[in-house]
Structure 1
Amino acid sequence: MSVVIGEISYTNILPFFYHLDKQKLIEHNCRFVPQVPAQLNNEMSKGRIDIGGISSFAYAENATRYTLLPNLSVTSYGAVNSIFLFSKVPLHELNGKKVALTWSSASSVHLLKIVLEHFHSLQISYTTMNPNVKSMLHDHDACLLIGDDAIVARREYTTSLYHYDLGELWYEQTGLPMTFAVFAVRNETLRDHPSLVGLIYRSFLQSKLESESKNYQPMIADILKTHGGDKVFWDHYFQKLCNDFGQKEQEGLSYYFDLLYQMNYLSQPIKKLHIWDEVKSE
């Protein structure tokens, strides 16, 4: 039976996959499934994906069933540059307005709800839609886009719409980093295939370290071919992202979970992050 690896199809998680020796992992009976976060979250919760990067919120919903992998995350200390609220009016004028949410990610959707409802005490009517600025804003006052959709929209609507970086809004209010995606493994997979999970984990970690050591340049060269944009933007984008998951990143994530529980967006509090210790597992 193969171990299925979920691969978020966004550039922000590419450092963990770009230098990955996929052929080696395939030879060890692994299989890769590329999907947007919401799809991957759903497939992992149903047991059809075993390990990979998932939305932080998806971990919170399955905290007793998943184990987090250390040193791997998509985190920002301030602006993340790929998660934006686009609005026809300034943020403080959104009270009583309608906001369209992308269906692509649970973490960003719930972060926006913290920003609007908890930090700014706004009452909002939400609708979940496909990620397209024009259709989202046809009958709504603002919309949330993430990942590559948000990056492209910011290029096109910088001057015509207000835009707010959710990572920046979070950091201004909390002084803490925001972890948007984590790497997790299903507990059954960890129990049944501990050695293979170790190999996969070390492969992710090696890809991250190689991406960082090369200053992301080979990866950015390929991104420019496939996604376009400006090299200066992509250089800045990856330099600003944090790929780690140490004490500070865990502190920020725990506070995010605490607020969601207080706001009744989580049915159970997350009292502890369950993080794999490879050394103790051997």
Structure 2
Amino acid sequence: MKMSLVVGEISYTNMLPLYYYLDRDYLNKLDCLFIPQIPSQLNEGMSKGIIDVGGISSFSYGEHVDKYTILPNLSVSAPNSVGSIFLFSKVPITQLDGKKVALTSSSATSVNLLKIILQSFYELNPEYTVMTPDFEEMLADHDACLLIGDDAIFTLWNLASHIHRYDLGQLWYEHTKLPMTFAVLAIRNDILQTEAYRISALYDGFITSKNKCIENNYEEMISSIRKDFGGSKRFWIDYFNGLSHDFTVRQQEGLYKYYDLATELGLLKKVNTIKLWSAIDHCHSI
């Protein structure tokens, strides 16, 4: 084994059920090193070989499909509304053609999902600018802005009544009737063979954490989140019940649709096969 297995941890509450009950003492003894960052930073770390395994944007997996393998049964997905990925706009969405839209620098999947929604579903072509996620600064010179994760949740809680709000998970579902997968758990292929033991231990931990959160209806985790972030218990219960952390055939179908539409718009090269890791044969294709 090499010195440390570097594990990327998306630092948003939507990923927390996969990490909350990890036995970090045990994994630390195996020399697993956890790096919490926003998705765009983890995407870059994975691509440079700094991060070995962990949560990344689904779009980033599509960019590196030949170099990464996905851990099965794990994701951040939404069957409909996602509750933390919003387009906030001064005008109705149908009026955004030619308007200025600020995009969060924190994301890859959601930024490209918004482009798909506006261009492919609404036939709109706004002018995009990537910015640090700050609602007031983004809307100072723009007609709309995209925020994700906890930035989006905090903005939602304090949103003025005249601002239009669009949930990207809901818009995706309305136009495709498919779930949307925003993040996946991926491994760099060059460590698949050498790190099989630690990957297996980490994978078992993710699955155990996810299942334990579902079994207790996220209660313990929500208590912890409320101490750090606030919000009502009902908000967080509804929020997590609206997410899915599985990666079923249906979710894979939704992700293939996303990749196909991104390819049509020239945002991504064609993704032919999503590769899933297996503890038995290390990986297989679907």
Instruction: With the length of structure 1 as denominator, give the TM-score of the two structures.
Output: 0.98
Q: Please state how far the C-alpha of 1:279 moved relative to its aligned partner.
A: 2.4
Which residue of the partner structure matches residue 226 of structure 1? 228
Give the corresponding residue for 1:279.
280
Q: Bigger CA drift: 271-280 or 177-186?
A: 271-280
Aligned counterparts of 1:191 and 1:104: Cα–Cα separation in 2 = 31
Does residue 179 in structure 1 map to residue 181 in structure 2? yes
Distance 2:5 2:185 in 1: 15
Q: CA RMSD in A?
A: 1.0
Say which of 125, 128, 131 aligns to 1:129: 131
Task: Give me the whole-angstrom Cα distance separating, in 2, the residues matched to 1:125 and 1:247.
Answer: 35
Within 2, Cα distance between the matches of 1:168 and 1:89?
18
Partner of 2:75: 73
Match of 1:170 in 2: 172
Q: Deviations over 1:144-196 (max 9, x none)?
A: 00000000101111513000000000000000000000000000121211111
Q: Contact 2:193–2:282 at 8 Å: present in 1 too?
A: no
Give the whole-Å Cα distance in 2 for the aligned partners of 1:230 and 1:2. Answer: 39
Alpha-carbon distance change, 158 to 240 in structure 1, aligned in 2, over 3 angstroms: farther
Verify: 1:250 aligned to 2:258, yes or no. Answer: no
Q: Distance in 2 between matches of 1:96 and 1:281?
A: 48
In 1, Cα distance between equivalents of 2:282 and 2:113: 34
For these two proteins, the number of residue pairs brought into alignment is: 281
Equivalent runs, 1:1-282 vs 2, <5 Å: 1-266=3-268, 268-281=269-282
Q: Is the 8 A contact 2:192 2:282 kept in 1?
A: no
- Whether contact under 8 Å (2:79, 2:243) holds in the other structure is yes
SS in 2 for 1:279: coil
Deviation at 1:238, TM superposition (A): 0.3
Is the 8 Å Cα contact of residues 7 and 53 (structure 2) preserved in structure 1? yes
What is the alpha-carbon distance in structure 1 between the residues aligned to residue 139 and residue 276 of structure 2? Answer: 40
Provide structure 2 residue ranges, at least 5 long, that are not aligned to the other structure: none
Structure 1 Cα separation of the partners of residues 63 and 282 of structure 2? 25
Question: Measured at CA, do residues 236 and 269 of structure 1 come closer, stay the same or move farther in structure 2, by a change above 3 Å?
Answer: same
CA offsets per residue over residues 57-94 of structure 1, 9 Å max, x none? 01001000000010000000110000000000000011
Specify the code of the residue in structure 2 equivalent to 1:173.
Answer: H
Give 1:19's aligned amino acid: Y
Q: In structure 2, how many angstroms separate the alpha carbons of the residues matched to 1:152 and 1:73?
A: 23
Query: Structure 1 runs of 4+ off > 4 angstroms?
Result: none
For residues 83-136 of structure 1, the C-alpha deviation after alignment (integer angstroms, 9 at most, x for no partner) is: 000000000011110000000010000000001011000011000001111100
Letter in 1 for 2:17: P
Q: CA separation in 2, counterparts of 1:196 and 1:148?
A: 30
Amino acid at match of 2:273: K
Deviation sequence 1:227-262 (CA, Å, 0-9, x none): 011111101000110110010010000110010011
CA distance in 2, matches of 1:272, 1:262: 17
TM-score by length of 2: 0.97
TM-fit CA distance, 1:277: 1.7
**CA positional deviation for 1:23:** 1.0
Structure 2 Cα separation of the partners of residues 207 and 63 of structure 1: 26
Specify every segment of 5 or more residues in structure 1 that has no aligned partner in the other structure, as ranges. none
Percent sequence identity is 51
User: What secondary structure is seen at the aligned counterpart in 2 of 1:122?
Assistant: coil
Aligned letter for 1:172?
Answer: E
Following the alignment from structure 1 to structure 2, what is the Cα–Cα distance between the partners of residues 280 and 190?
10
1:242 match: secondary structure: coil
| Structure 2 counterpart SS, 1:172 | helix
